[in-house]
Amino acid sequence: MRGHRLAVLIAFALLPGFLSAQIAPTTGGASRAGTSMSTPASSSAFSGGASAPVGYILSPSDQVGVEIFGEEDLRTNGRLNPEGNLSVPLLGSIHLAGLTLTQAASKLTELYGRDYQVNPKINVVLLSYAKRRFSVLGQVNHPGSYEMPDSSPGGVDLLEAVAMAGGYTRIAAPERITVRRRNASGDQIFKVNAKRFTKGTGGGFLVEPGDAITVGESIF
């Protein structure tokens, strides 16, 4: 009996092709199953979006993504038009400017839940900021229009804005800077003495998107 078992083991040792054929399918199947189970499910279909500060208010030309969990066909992304509206599936054009991301999601949840979905779960994410620009004119080395950095969507310090324009010329008068700001009620004019900012004796002035800065010329 012992001799018979030994003969069987020797026979299998001489047939590596047989062992390989029997083992390979099992190993390959386990590998495919492992790969399938290890793929994580993404919590959001949108990745690489902008890092919006808490309480950020949406404005025209902001790009946002909207997804309804479990409804991939209703996923959409786009820029708010000049009126602050976004076109979304089934609902059409919806005004979102002036709302936070949370408020925008709540509004869409209400609208979808009213006629199309039962307890929809909606996520709204900021994908990219609108191109916010300001201009620097007068006595700077590179007058022109400049884009607000994404890291400062609400505004930049006046001295940073001047630096982006190449700094003051040799005949500039930092104490005679004018900032024109347009709003719904008309233009606002600010007279700013930036000379005291450089000396560290006062606070800065926040330049907002759309502002027009003019650096005056020294009279001496």
50's tokens = 């902008």
Alpha helices, DSSP H, located in the chain: 2-13, 16-38, 101-115, 158-164, 195-198
- Tokens 């609108």 locate to 130
CB 156 within 8 Å of CB 147: no
Tokens of 57: 């208010």
Q: What is the pLDDT along the chain (220 residues), one digit of tens a residue?
A: 444 444 444 444 444 443 333 333 333 333 333 333 333 334 566 766 677 778 889 988 899 999 999 998 999 999 999 899 999 999 999 999 999 999 999 999 999 999 888 899 999 999 988 778 899 999 999 999 998 876 776 688 899 999 999 999 999 999 999 999 987 678 899 999 998 886 555 568 999 888 999 999 998 7
Q: Which pTM value belongs to this model? A: 0.52
110 three-class SS: helix
When the candidates are 3.20.20.140, 3.30.1950.10, 3.30.1330.40, 3.30.300.30, the CATH number that belongs to 63-128 is: 3.30.1950.10
What confidence score (pLDDT) does residue 211 get? 93
CATH topology of domain 133-217: Outer membrane lipoprotein wza fold like (3.10.560)
For residue 144, the model assigns a pLDDT of 95
pLDDT at 82: 86
CB 127 within 8 A of CB 65: yes
